[in-house]
Chain A
Amino acid sequence: EIVLTQSPGTLSLSPGERATLSCRASQSVGSPFLAWYQQKPVQAPRLLIYGASSRATGIPDRFSGSGSGTNFTLTISRLEPEDFAVYYCQQYGRSPLTFGPGTKLDIK
């Protein structure tokens, strides 16, 4: 099983700042089959990034993904108030599919 580790656990920033979230895999994620999701309270997760760096439909270009192998990054260039949420990475290159534990992005 591929174990995903996300850091930091919590990130406190202000609107307008840049956020950098990390996701590390215990083994190489093929292809790369790595996605990022945003989840707000009492809402279902929303796909932001797939294939490590492709934005999903309707996702603003302030969200970007990068990385390969075992190290991946989600960057939010300038935080908007609606971006404060929990972010999960997921690998879908090997079964079982696995999610990271999440990074909570909260307002400083």
Chain B
Amino acid sequence: EVQLVQSGAEVKKPGESLKISCKGSGYRFSSYWIGWVRQMPGKGLEWMGSIYPGDSDTRYSPSFQGQVTISADKSINTAFLQWSSLKASDTAMYYCARGSYDFWSDYSFWGQGTLVTVSS
């Protein structure tokens, strides 16, 4: 059974750094793209970027390029999303989702989401 299990909720202050995780199981982790999707409170879904764990090929939405860093460690079947300096506007639910071996794919499996709250 394919599963994506995300790290727990975080409460941070503006300016702090953060790295959240997404651990895949039940499939060959290195062979499928993992995407990250933001959902701000009461709002829709926004694609942030994706990574292919096999060779760490990473692609970002222009809206998020330079704002976050996506990485993966295939040895532990885990993808990461990190911020170096959080802002209040980063408060959102963040989902990881599995694509296919091809970047141009839908997301058939989703993590449960990680709620990030940034407040002074």
Contacts and interface: CB of A to CB of B under 8 A. Distances in A.
Interface of A: 1, 31, 33, 35, 37, 39, 44-47, 50-51, 56-57, 88, 90, 92-93, 95-102
A90 B107 CA distance: 10
B90 interface: no
B45 interface: yes
Q: How large is the interface on B (under 10, 10 to 19, 20 to 34, 35 or more residues)?
A: 20 to 34
The main secondary structure of chain B at its interface with chain A is: loop
Given A44-B95, A96-B63, A97-B35, A88 B45 contact: yes
Contacts of A1: 62
A35 B106 contact: yes
B110 interface: yes
A54 B74 CA distance: 31
B41 interface: no
